[in-house]
Structure 1
């Protein structure tokens, strides 16, 4: 018989490659024998989940796919880094009273695309003092849409590009009874003083989990190609909103402020370009792949100004002139043109006649 986790003699533990979000939300195990949470139970659970979470390889692969999708739609993606703490989804239900928005499959905290859209909209609607009322109304209707028409831009989830660090934090509300029952202050009760916002209330520490030292990929794309003209302005609004307002919860306390990390953005774009090149190369035939390698070597030598008559480039070309006789006709013609370009750059040498005959043989 399989016992439920809370009846096991050994305490369940999260595996190294486990989903931290699923564990944090569904496997809370700090209840007492009476199914009540002891005073230290909440802080124990929060502290136990602090640390680095997320698998680097999976997050990197997801970031590349995410950026590829944004780019394919004609959009723009960039990595933003937190300058302190970041928390999203604190209002979600949880035994410790404060939840956290976890990505279901990646198991790391993230910011939903709807939250990104709401952040940019708030900046345009309330905070951007450079806009007159007419331009503000136009942007709100065009960029974000109405109940009758979708906006011109798509806002994607902001996902971490690498493992994130989680830390335990605490808030200490001093008047919890006032917050909970203040609306009933005029109704009779045994302890009416608890419903009054006064100094005699005791602070109640509430632990919660926050993110720090995170880098997240944000993305915005036009819904149709003709809307791409305003993409730079929408992205500028995102940058200003992240810098001045912050994303997620507790922004009034300084949480959620982010700045674009140009180095991380450039690195991600370079890796995305390499991934695209590798995917394209994988679709090539063996003959086309050999031509691609030879052409790349020629371009590299031209860039460096290298001309080696007996170098690897020439040796590889000579070998392909032999093997290419059995290639399909279109590839043989492409090899002939490439060989002429290579010998024209490096020099035909003493075997000029022999090499021209081999090239002519490819064209028969």
Structure 2
């Protein structure tokens, strides 16, 4: 059985360690004489399995990022994009590892991540492609816009970009990383300098991936001071955000994120469900803030207006016909009278009185007329 290359006192059960530790220090892929075992899939599967603590940490990191972003979020200078992977995602394959293919884990949590620098690189490339015009519309991109948002290393005019990209913590679907296999051909030609032919013996190489349907949330901040200094036009009417959204759309559709994107890895699409939910929460927060800024009188008037509008709709529906005493409208009117006469806010009382006076003209029973006139006198301050 394969073992980890660690002292005996550490034991043999590393199921409580993070995936990063199990893939690195505790990878159980060595024979008793510390030669690599031929079966590399099972050790990687064990390394990529998330335990309960990993899942809690993964969710907590996502929640902390969201809370931190909302704490500093300015709708004019921040952008959040929720996506779902439509293909396996991998990154960090060039990191040193005994199995030749590494993987990027975020220390000290030992969980997969996409560095913010990687996000910036892909979006810069997307911006360059759009600016070239080879993909149709420029979507506002040009070399100057790229320099203003991503920075420039021009010796004559070095420039710091206005955008900051956060690391992305994938929310892994299914609770486990998956193992993929690639079989590079023509090793004898590319590495050994032999004549190319089709009788080569490719050696399968295994590597870890984040499975499809995993969630990736991108957070981007824009420094308004830098933006206004380097490209004031981009700060007007959120033009920088429109450009960046176009770059994201291009990257999602044509480029992908992470490694091996040329063969389909790292493909993603926007998560419309999360987008709608985020917009709903933002709308609720704006509404709460707006209501909190109202005076007690304005708040009471706004609440009472809802009752007035509802009864007005009932009245509009009823007066399309002929008034009949004892119909449901009389009951609805009596309920409205009880609510309106209890109000203290003067605008609400005045509008309720005007509406009830209209219903009096349309129709009321003899018994109800007395009560209605009394209510009108109360609402007008005459009773």
Task: Give the TM bin, normalised by the shorter chain.
Answer: 0.5 to 0.7
Q: In structure 1, how many angstroms separate the alpha carbons of the residues matched to 2:109 and 2:87?
A: 22
1:150 aligns with 2:160: yes
TM-score by length of 1: 0.66
Residue in 2 that maps onto 1:139: 145
1:80 aligns with 2:83: yes
Residue in 1 that maps onto 2:271: 261
Q: In structure 2, how many angstroms separate the alpha carbons of the residues matched to 1:109 and 1:139?
A: 32
Cα distance, 1:79 vs. partner? 0.8
Cα distance, 1:136 vs. partner? 3.6
Asked if 2 retains the 8 angstrom alpha-carbon contact of 1:80 and 1:259, the reply is yes
Residue in 2 that maps onto 1:220: 220
Residue in 1 that maps onto 2:179: 168
Asked if 2 retains the 8 angstrom alpha-carbon contact of 1:172 and 1:204, the reply is yes
Give the direction of change, closer, same or farther, for the CA distance of 1:309–1:140 in structure 2 (3 Å limit): same
Q: In structure 1, how many angstroms separate the alpha carbons of the residues matched to 2:35 and 2:280?
A: 52
The secondary structure found in structure 2 opposite 1:54 is helix
Q: 2:60 aligns with which of 54, 58, 61?
A: 58
Alignment of 1:315-326 (within 5 A): none
TM-score by length of 2: 0.63
Q: In structure 1, how many angstroms separate the alpha carbons of the residues matched to 2:284 and 2:108?
A: 25
Residue in 1 that maps onto 2:328: none
Q: List per-residue Cα deviations over 1:151-205 (Å, max 9, x = no partner).
A: 2333333333x443421110112344655x45xx5xxxxxxx5xx5443431111
Query: Any gaps of 5 or more consecutive residues in structure 1?
Result: 186-192, 318-335, 357-364
Cα distance, 1:142 vs. partner? 2.5
CA RMSD of aligned residues (A): 4.3
Asked if 2 retains the 8 angstrom alpha-carbon contact of 1:111 and 1:158, the reply is yes
Give the direction of change, closer, same or farther, for the CA distance of 1:99–1:222 in structure 2 (3 Å limit): same
Residue in 2 that maps onto 1:333: none
1:11 aligns with 2:12: yes
Residue in 2 that maps onto 1:159: 169
Give the direction of change, closer, same or farther, for the CA distance of 1:33–1:273 in structure 2 (3 Å limit): farther
Residue in 2 that maps onto 1:28: 27
- Total equivalences in the alignment: 305
